Amino acid sequence: MIIEQNKLDSMLARLKLLAIRDSLDHLLDQAIEQKLTLRESLRLLLEHR
């Protein structure tokens, strides 16, 4: 799991999505709590600033 997290962090940094990278765990927890679909979760991530 650590390797996957590091790879994801690298990808988000390369795409200059640092705000998402820094808040990813919180945002994913939020998506789970709200029972969002994958599409809705993606929108939540991309709308985050």
| Total of domains in the chain | 1
36: helix, strand or coil: coil
Provide the residue range defining the domain that includes 23.
2-47
pLDDT at 7 (0 to 100)? 93
Predicted TM-score (pTM) of this structure: 0.77
> What sections of the chain are H helices per DSSP?
2-14, 18-33, 38-47
Higher pLDDT, 48 or 39: 39
pLDDT at 5 (0 to 100)? 87
Phi/psi of residue 37, nearest 5 degrees: -75, 170
| CB contact at 8 A, 45 and 27 | yes
Compute the distance between CA of residue 38 and CA of residue 13 in angstroms, rounded to an integer. 21
How many CB atoms neighbour CB 20 within 10 A?
A: 19
